[in-house]
Amino acid sequence: VIPNESGRYLVSTCKYIDTLLVKFYGKTSFYNVNNTEELLGHLIIGLAPHTSVGIVGRIIGYTETHVCFATPNWHSAKRRDADGDADSIMLLMDSLLNFSRQYLSDRIGGLMDAPLLVQPLVLPHESQPQAHNLEVTKIFPLDFFESTYQESKASDANSVEIIKSRIGTRRQFYDFHFTHSTSSLTTSKPRSAYSTLGSMLDKFDMQVRNAELIDVVNPSELVSNVISTHLVPDIMGNLRAYARQSFRCTACGKSYRRMPLIQTCVCGHKLIATITRGSVEKYLKLAKRLVDKYDVGAYQRGRIYALSDEIDLVFGKSEGDQSLLTDYA
């Protein structure tokens, strides 16, 4: 089930493909659709960002929200967790007709976001474990509710049938039940608030504000985890990449592992850095603000300010403090 907006876009794509088949390849048109209703039943490929394996699916309906509804196994096969991350779909004929490795870049990452492989079937045992935890039962037995008093682990609740218990059987593909019916899978909001925010700083600020509203969530612990698992590795990785960066000619595109003493390309044009100071310290101000506002501990605070001092040592504390290689010639 895809967004209506996506359906209208795919109708335009169908018309383009039909025109391409007739006028360029001399074949008969394939889709012959004029509206979204006529597109129902056609095959698409789902491709998650930064991957190279497309998963075949079938359009069965539309929704006004900006979301793609499908079984967890289908999303998991694309290596998505169905948690609000970006996703993409394309017409199967489009990917078969207009794909060529010659279109792909030879740079690092050039093979990503292209359907190098197409998986026609979704095999549940090849999906990620998260998708196997979906309940497929009509009711939850009394034993399940009684086990909540013992605060047992979710993995110990064997009385509830999940997809994992059907792996290897014929019922792993069908007969999925649910406990409560509903007239709508969507809410009054057409898209998540997360997708309406522009910068990553705005998104993180909203996440922290939500954490402050929830009694069972410790905002300081959440901030500490984000700093240790995202911000610090990002800053350190970008600083390391800056030290190992190459330099590229603005004219011919030739790449240099080190800046030549003449500071120009052999063709005489200017060389520019491939990694800028802004990309290195893009999360530094956020990290400083967080460690000053929340109780993240002396260790986390020390790591951030140590990284800040290291960045100042590399770039200088103000604009123009950085020396040129020719200053020492």
Q: What is the mean pLDDT of the chain?
A: 86
CA separation (Å) from 100 to 95, 97, 114, 218? Answer: 9, 9, 10, 50
Render pLDDT for 89-118 as a digit per residue (tens, 0 to 9): 999 999 999 888 888 887 777 788 888 999
322 confidence band (pLDDT: 50, 70, 90): low
Per the CB < 8 A criterion, the answer to whether 205 and 277 are in contact is: no
Share of the chain above pLDDT 90, in %: 27
Structure tokens at 150: 């013992």
Checking if the pLDDT of 193 tops 80, the result is no
153 confidence band (pLDDT: 50, 70, 90): confident
Please tell me the distance from the alpha carbon of residue 46 to that of residue 9, in angstroms, as a whole number.
Answer: 15
327 confidence band (pLDDT: 50, 70, 90): low
Domain boundaries, the chain: 2-127, 197-317
Structure tokens at 241: 């990449």
Closest CA to 82 of 41, 126, 128: 128
Structure tokens at 191: 């898209």
Per the CB < 8 A criterion, the answer to whether 136 and 163 are in contact is: yes
* Average pLDDT rounded to a whole number, residues 123-136: 85
Render pLDDT for 36-92 as a digit per residue (tens, 0 to 9): 999 999 999 999 888 889 999 999 999 988 888 888 888 888 888 767 778 899 999
